[in-house]
Amino acid sequence: MPLDPQVLAYRARRAAAGTPQLYTQTLAEARAADLAAIRAGGGDAEPVHEVRDRTVPGPAGDLPVRIYRPAGDGPLPTLVYFFGGGWTLGSIDTADGICRRLANAVPCQVITVGYRLAPENRFPAAVLDCHAATAWIAAHADELGVDPTRLAVGGDSAGGNLAAAVTLLARRDGVPALAGQLLVYPNTLHRGETDSMRESEDPYLFNRTSVDWYWGHYLADPADGRNPLASPLLAEDLGGLPPALVITAEYDPLRDEGERYAERLREAGVPTELARYSGMIHGFFAMSGVLDGGRHALDRAAGWLRARLHAPAAGGESVGPDRGPVGARRADG
């Protein structure tokens, strides 16, 4: 289908204002503009029962985390969430709206991690930070009010890439046990020459030049892009990973690599759902204030997490009328 009418209106506003692409700006300018755009598109912040900031140990020093806790006593199911921004932009503030919405809607505790950014800290710094934080959260479940049997990871864009990488490391180490992975238009392949990448040239939307700009900051050496922790699609074996929901957007250069990753997970026997949102663009998940598709996707993610984290056996088969134990289900938004 064509671009959603709300996306067309958003694009028209950017064109009329002459909004520069982030990749044309300095890092400081791009980081400020990215946060401002996300706050403008996310709508009003939802109140959550408790929101607090703290730090957790990381491999190169303390990492900031923000904890969103809905009402409820005792250990809660928990989602560890990694923000997007091409490993170069973003902060725990970037994901604030998403984390608030999911904490209330699932409901579950959400902890977002402030990992180190590139190019100041290139690959694999962000992966190591996210894995270390997730492992620490699981190991200190009592302190944080986490139910370690109902722990999931998730993220959007580069955050989805990091969530996928964390599942690979958790499988390698045997800890922590993860009940699910929420991957929202994830980067899964460095220099992937897919149809969706080749088709993405729009100067007013996230495009293939945007993707190249982020990878250029993230990797010290292009050869690092062959590492599965940078390109999870290149992992030889995806068996034994936690159940997944993969969300993609029709007009996103990352669409095909995200959908191929969902297919690879399914082929490996991982219970997987795939939801492509027609007419949507990269970033729509964080734009629920201006795009109905963003609200629908957040609701879909919350419903999937609810099934994973509130089921009697969170690590077992998916439950519900629209999902089986194994199989990618594709649903247009």
Q: How far apart, in whole angstroms, are the C-alpha atoms of residue 163 and residue 170?
A: 10
What tokens does 245 get?
């929901």
Catalytic hit among 96, 129, 156, 157: 157
Active site residue 200: no
Active site residue 231: no
Q: How far apart, in whole angstroms, are the C-alpha atoms of residue 129 and residue 101?
A: 24
Catalytic hit among 4, 34, 252, 256: 252
Q: What is the torsion angle, in degrees rounded to the nearest 10, for the CA atoms of residue 193, residue 199, residue 202 and residue 203?
A: 30
What tokens does 12 get?
């028209």
Active site residue 310: no
Catalytic hit among 131, 190, 217, 282: 282
What tokens does 97 get?
């709206």
Q: What is the DSSP secondary structure assignment for residue 203, as one 8-state letter?
A: T
Q: How far apart, in whole angstroms, are the C-alpha atoms of residue 184 and residue 283?
A: 9
Q: How far apart, in whole angstroms, are the C-alpha atoms of residue 25 and residue 118?
A: 15
Helices (H), the chain: 5-17, 27-42, 96-105, 125-139, 141-144, 158-173, 195-198, 208-218, 255-267, 292-310
Active site positions, annotated: 157, 252, 282
